Amino acid sequence: MASDLSGIVESSFPTGALVPKAETGVLNFLQKYPDYDGRDVTIAIFDSGVDPRATGLETLCDGKTLKVIERFDCSGCGDVDMSKKLTPDEKGNFKGLSGRTLKLSPELIALNTDKDGAVRVGLKSFNDLVPAKVRDNIVAQAKLKSWDKPHKTATANASRKIVEFEAQNPGEASKLPWDKKIVKENLDFELEMLNSYEKLYNDIKTSFDCVLFPTDNGWLTIIDTTEQGDLEKALRIGEYSKTHETKNVDDFLSVSVNVHDDGNVLEVVGMCSPHGTHVASIASGNHSSRDIDGVAPNAKIVSLTIGDGRLGSMETGTALIRGIMKVMDLCREGRRIDVINMSYGEHSNWSNSGRIGELMNEVVNKYGVVWVASAGNHGPALSTVGTPPDISQPSLIGVGAYVSPQMMEAEYAMREKLPGNVYTWTSRDPCIDGGQGVTVCAPGGAITSVPQFTMSKSQLMNGTSMAAPHVAGAVALLISGLKQQNIAYSPYSIKRAISVTATKLGYVDPYAQGHGLLNVEKAFEHLVEHRQSKDNMMRFSVRVGASQDKGIHLREGVQRKFVDFNVNIEPVFFNDKEADPKDKFNFNVRLNLIPSQSWVQCGSFLDLSYGVRSIVVRIDPTSLQPGVHSAVVKAYDTDCVQKGPLFEIPITVVQPHVLENVQSTPVFEPTTQRADKSVEFQPNTIQRDFILVPDKATWAVLRLRLTDPNRGNDIGKFFLHTNQLLPHQSCRKLETMKIIGVNSEFEATATFPVKANKILELCIAKYWSNHGQSHLKYSLEFRGVAAQNPNAYVMHAGRGIHPLEVGVLVAEEIQPLLQLKNAAVVLKPSEAKISPLSATRDVIPEGRQIYQSLLVYNLNVAKAAEVALYAPLFNDLLYESEFESQMWMLFDVNKSLIATGDAHSHNFYTKLEKGEYTVRLQVRHEKRDLLEKIAEANLIAAYKLPNMLALDFYDSYNQCIVSGRKFTSAKVRETNKMLYIAPIAQDRITKANLPAQCAWLSGNLVFPKDEAGRRIALHPFTYVLNPAEKKAASNGAANGGSSNNASPAAAAAVNANAAKPKAQATPQGATNTANSAGGDADTLQKEVPANASGGAPSSPQKGKTSADDYAESLRDFQCSHIAKCELEKAEKIYNEVVAAHPKHLPAHLQFIQNIESTELKTQLPLAFVAAHQKRSSEGDDGSVDKQRDDNSQKQRSALERIVKLADIVIKETDADALLSYYGLKNDTRPDATKIKTNMDKQKNNLIEALSKKGIAVAKLCVLENNLKEHLAELNDIYTEIIKFVDANDSKAIQFAMWHAYAHDHYGRMYKYVSKMIEDKRTRDHFEELAAINGALGYEHTKAVIDRMTVTAFPNSFRLF
């Protein structure tokens, strides 16, 4: 059998195609020049981080020299605030920021060279140092290792206890006596607790204590990964620049560290995705097998992380600028960065300006670094090149993605090879401003190394992200050879060489390949041959028109006449400011300008010295057929034509199809020679049609079907990409991208929005890997209905009825629907502070200090909601922004980080619980005066409404006024249809529970009845609310309540009644209204007139004098200060009040509050018990014992006094009368409202007194160690309380906790603490939860709660 198979099974694998190099001549180059393998060259990888321990990235070709020589996280995601210094005690113990006691071993103490022996402490959440998928793996492994077994056992035992209880107590649980009922509740709550932790486990974040101190070999970082405080067993790691250490935190995550600002900032470097390691492996991987090497295996790597883990892995302005500054610093230190690879980018709204682009140009033009960037994966439509390479100057090398037949075989396991081509999705030229973004194309896929946390040795990735490092590696080969031959070069000579020598692929989309497929051998030969060229150290700036475009791009309507463009051309020396003036003076070049197409005209010759010359380029598109047409004006040096063009002026003209017949539904069909009107598609065939969208069109329907006979269900895989370019907006603003399966049996359809009178590119491509020939018949039908009047989609409530003049493209059935889904609140900064950033990390050479403007906003969320935050001034801007950062971080009241956002945060919603939040927004720039201009920048909080608000339509103005007959649907023809929308009624606004200070509502308005149109033709609609009314203190109608729908007379009556003085005898004192609201219960009850009528007198109540009013006001004022004053003063006031008003019960409660705040620390049961046990076990020193005894006695006295004061309130309150009153179903007395108010005050006073007494009794029992002997007394208090309120009521829950503790009901304790946490999250609550689980013997859940506590309660706001 083996001998038979040997003739069938291939004995070798095409490993050379896993990391392709033959296609671009890399293999031939290295065979010819084996020493030009990247040695003496350093590549900086701007990406998600590089793993120095990944296969192939450990060393250079000698097997000894480290490959990844520097490793920085420029994003700030890994930064830890280490500004706090502590000195350990003589045993090496000190308190970490987690609250744990940390211990240094003698060995570690000896390493510390700080003059005072001090250490720096910080706390770091490791949640965002790894990708989400890896995080899930880490959590899953930890769960399997230390959670599942004990938790399943605990859950089974809890379930078993419930079954046993139910067997012993048959019948319905609701009919059990109260003491049995709480036992059952306790068991149920314990099981509920275990189940809730199971659900919560995957969301728990881990934070570790970090310790930092100086040693003889630089800073030493200790990360307490044990979470036990024993630093001898913790992770130790030195600075990467000195030790090159990378160590594992667990089986998945490895980190390195850097230290900044004299130890104040620790930078923990992780990786936010595998992307950066894969990219570095393509550029410079060094393996034992040369077949799978990277392009330049002997090049060094500097890893600069620009992806921020807080944002998934998106790059930020801060990270990019810090990365650029690090490159500058290294170049200035003599540790030159030769090449930058950046396989990252976004799409900009414009590219001719922007802070980040300016600094990118500076790196190239001043420091001579060759910057290679991926063009993007956003094709196949035109003008989809990303930023970078599309920045203000064409200084970068942009790379498109190519796939060869060998790659198809080895990487994609395709059943047959296809001709080499670009990938369907690779981004296309031109840039929006007409420039050329794609310089060359290169292999865009590889199977190579990835980080260890993936648990995989290698992985297939494809994209222009993989093509760019191939070119970066190739540039490293070129520079390696040039250095060894002592040939001077510049980024300009490198870019010109690879452009001029690239292999143009005639059958491949010209907009995707740039100058063609990279050819390393020819590029090197070109550089060597023209080594003496005077322009090697020079670039030629080409600027078109007033907007300073990089090229000419005509894509506005039908081009019916010629257009002249002024083009400015300026030669600029490398590092122009430091260039020799003689070189500038002596420079002259005589150029021959050659247009590539007859419809482009310009002068043939140009004499160019060192200065700006302007030429006119005429474009005459009048003879051009519909479609896209490209040309280029090439400028050759007449002294050396064979060198190739010194610069080019790229030109793109789009001539659209115009649909003439507007009487019927406009339909576009492609021009074809086939009888069945189909178009032939081979794999990767691209059909582009440019259509001028008819006036009033708002959506289009594309219909597709294969016409091939006998294809049956054989599906063709087609990539649909439609695009309309809008002024100063990126190519992504109005586009559709989808893959559609098409066969001959059924018609496939796609519906997408369009904008009238703008050119639409309809791009249909057969996917590159979809085998076989297909014939596709397709048509595009335009439909349209929209409001024609100005500002139709912005409605101001204050302007009343809002008109809509609805017009249609052709006759259309309309059924309008307006739904408002979001509410916007404008947040004003409560603080705006400008300050210089790090003097070592945030200074652009030389001495250009970067400043930050830190704006702080307060956000109040009244109830749980989904909220998106964004700063309108900066939103949707990154590379094109004037400022280099706009990151915001959202923190809860405990300073725990909840969410982070940056340039594109307006569509990302975060679920927020009720509470107070702080938003901190950082904007950075080197010019302080620019930051001063944004000190009042607003932040928008957009809330998702729980229930959408739908507005009604009317086709009559008068019907709209009276809310009469509503409009539902109608057919609209040539004549426009008028519709009207009425403002939202105030009662609907009130019921909608909008957030406070809501400024506007937003949603979508749709007109068509057609289902496909309703999904697609959405018009964003904004409803501007009236400014919020200021609520008057004493006027109930000011809140918009009872007077909303009343007549003027009724509203006046409400106002008149609201203005009258209250008829109750004792006004509510200025006390704690939640717990101590109310006056003297008996007196209040007696003083309410038995026959009081609804019309209270306008003068003070009969029998009351001014002296009475004064006495009561004085009493209430005194009571309000009892709880606030020092104990001695408070007691004096208390005695005065009680002497003058012996029946005024709130005075006793206020005094209890004072005693609690001054004499007793508010503690939950297990925390109180733990503190008492700790005090009891402390030392044998006589003075310590005496102090402890004194404190204990003081505590007992305070608790005993609380019991006595509470007993006064309890004794003086007629509980039976209260119960009788609350037993009434209806109170028909005329003064029922006043009676209820007084009864509620009495009830609250009684509950508070019972609760305070119960807690004091329980604490006394703990101090005397006789809690079980007083269960009956605690039960009596508990049963009295639950006559009036549930045990988890806010007035009773504190005592309920103690009652549950007394009975060892830890399940009930959990439930009560959970309720407290819902109202307010505090560290004490979480620590009590941990203690509850410890008391139950659940050490695994206790450990998890401890972990949650550390993360949920940081000491300070997280660093940007």
Tell me whether strands 300-305 and 42-47 are parallel, antiparallel or unpaired. Answer: parallel
- Write out the DSSP string of 664-713: S--EE----SSTT--EEE-TT-EEEEEEEPPTT--EEEEEEEE--TT-TT
Looking at residue 1315, what DSSP letter applies? H
Are 919 and 869 a contacting pair, CB within 8 Å?
A: yes
Amino acid type, 983? P
CA angle 198, 204, 208 (to 5 degrees): 140
Contact 368, 490 (CB under 8 A): yes
Tokens of residue 346, six digits:
């976004």
Q: Name residue, tokens 């405990």.
A: 894
Please give the Cα distance from 692 to 678 (Å, whole number). 22
The single residue of 37, 47, 128, 188 carrying the catalytic annotation is 47
Cis status, amide bond into 380, omega within 30 of 0: yes
Q: Is 463 left (phi over 0), alpha (psi -120 to 50) or beta?
A: left
Distances (CA, A) of 238 to 86, 235, 304, 971, 1184: 20, 10, 18, 75, 43
524 in Cβ contact with 478 (< 8 Å): yes
| Cβ atoms of 969 and 814 closer than 8 Å | yes
The CA angle 228-230-234, to the nearest 5 degrees, is: 95
Q: b/e map of 81-112 (b: 16 or more CB within 10 Å)?
A: bbeeeeebeeebebebbbeeebbbeeebeebb
For the record, the structure tokens of 600 come out as 């482009």
Cβ contact 778:790 at 8 Å: no
Alpha carbons 454 and 839: distance in angstroms, whole number: 37
Contacts of 707 (CB under 8 A, 6+ apart): 676, 678, 744, 775, 776, 777
What is the C-alpha separation between 451 and 313, in angstroms, rounded? Answer: 15
Q: Is 465 designated active site?
A: yes
Residue 464 CA, distance from chain mean position: 25
Q: Which two tokens stand for residue 896?
A: 């725990």
Length of the chain measured in residues = 1360
Q: Are strands 748-753 and 300-305 parallel, antiparallel or unpaired?
A: unpaired
Are 797 and 984 within 8 A, CB to CB?
yes
Rounded distance between C-alpha atoms, residue 1299 and residue 1253, angstroms: 12
Q: Are 281 and 319 in contact (CB under 8 A)?
A: no
Peptide bond connecting 735 to the previous residue in cis, omega within 30 degrees of 0:
no
Cβ atoms of 227 and 100 within 8 Å: the answer is yes
**Longest C-alpha distance within the chain, in Å?**
120
DSSP symbols for 569-631:
EEEEETTGGGS-HHHHHH-EEEEEEEESSTTEE--SEEEEESS-EEEEEEE-GGGPPSEEEEE
Find the catalytic residue in 48, 51, 254, 275: 275
Residue type, 778: Y
Catalytic residue among 284, 374, 465, 853: 465
DSSP conformational letter for 219: E
DSSP annotation string for 29-72: HHHH-TT-SSTT-EEEEEES---TTSTT-SB-TTSSSBSEEEEE
Cα angle 81, 84, 90; round to 5: 135
Catalytically active residues are 47, 275, 465
